[in-house]
Structure 1
Amino acid sequence: MRRAIEGHHANAEAAMKAAFATAILPFLVTPAMAGTAVEAVRPFYDHVGLELDPAERGRFVDPAKAVLDARDQLEKSEQGDCLDANMPLDSTAYDKAELDRSLKIIGSETGDTAIVVAAFTAQGEPHRMQWKLKKVDGEWKVADLLSVTNEWALSQYQCQ
């Protein structure tokens, strides 16, 4: 009987600890932990092709948003596509394992602007991408994407 009571108390104590942890979790997530510029860029490497999904357009501001919106219109008109595939990967073919193994993302935030650099290896070659972000309503949005390696910028594309 004593073991049953002790077991009940242990279960009740564990349940109380879990409830407490769940209750305070929202207070532990600070703006510094969630919503960094690096965190805004990482999904583009976790889900390759995300930049071309019109449902994800809220991740962008002009000039990048304007180019992507123009690309969407061109595609809807069935006149083709004006952007290269895999832009966050410097428009190269890639191996997911090689990307995951080599990807390094660092960022620098200054007020409402940020620069994030993603360095990785694709097909055995090193690549470096620079992401320019702006903070809009407390969220980091992509304003431009540049290839340091191959010297192109999303903002320079003309999708008309």
Structure 2
Amino acid sequence: AAPLQLGSPTAVVKPFYEHVGLELDPAQRSHFADPAKSVLDKSDTLRKSGQGECLDPNMALDNAAYDGAEILNSLKTIEVIKGDEAKVVVAFVVAGNPHRLEWKFRKVDGDWKITDLLSVTGEWALSQYQCE
């Protein structure tokens, strides 16, 4: 495998597989742009209001049961960049079940920002959540 390029879309995605639930951490919001950022911000507001959770705590894992070693051992990524847009397709296996997600990116002020997260397996998209 080629070495990971600092700041590349794949480098932005990798920590979300090393630290479960990282996508819900407000300290990570700088890695996101709309529409994903708005959904995450609304989720934060809802959580702070005490009215519950809007988003699953392990979206990056396609809501699968977490087995860090199994995921990291089977994790494969494919990065495609077209101009100021990119996507990283992530595939892994948990308990014999394959999962595939697509992270969408847009270049904002020279940095790659996550604009959406889609589950090809589970047929959901972060941008479709209404956290209100």
What TM-score, normalized to structure 1? 0.78
Q: Which residue of 1 aligns with 2:90?
A: 118
Tell which has more relative contact order, 1 or 2 (C-alpha 8 A, sep 6+). Answer: 2
Please identify which structure carries the higher strand content. 2
CA-atom RMSD in angstroms? 1.1
Does the CA-based 8 Å contact 1:146-1:152 persist in structure 2? yes
Does the CA-based 8 Å contact 2:79-2:87 persist in structure 1? yes
Does the CA-based 8 Å contact 1:99-1:122 persist in structure 2? yes
Whether 1:138 and 2:110 are equivalent positions in the alignment is yes
Deviation string, structure 1 residues 52-80 (Cα, Å, up to 9, x no partner)? 00111111000000000000000010000
Instruction: Report the 3-state secondary structure (helix = DSSP H, G, I; strand = E; otherwise coil) of the residue aligned with 2:70.
Output: helix
Aligned residue pairs, count? 129
Q: Which residue of 2 aligns with 1:106?
A: 78
Deviation string, structure 1 residues 19-55 (Cα, Å, up to 9, x no partner)? xxxxxxxxxxxxx932211111111111111100011
Q: Which amino acid aligns with 2:105?
A: L
Gap regions ≥5 residues in structure 2: none
Larger radius of gyration: 1
Stretch moving more, 72-81 or 39-48: 39-48
What TM-score, normalized to structure 2? 0.94
Instruction: Report the 3-state secondary structure (helix = DSSP H, G, I; strand = E; otherwise coil) of the residue aligned with 2:71.
Output: helix
- Structure 1 residue ranges, 4+ long, deviating more than 4 angstroms after superposition: none
Whether 1:69 and 2:41 are equivalent positions in the alignment is yes
Please identify which structure carries the higher helix content. 1
Q: Sequence identity of aligned pairs in percent?
A: 61
Whether 1:90 and 2:62 are equivalent positions in the alignment is yes
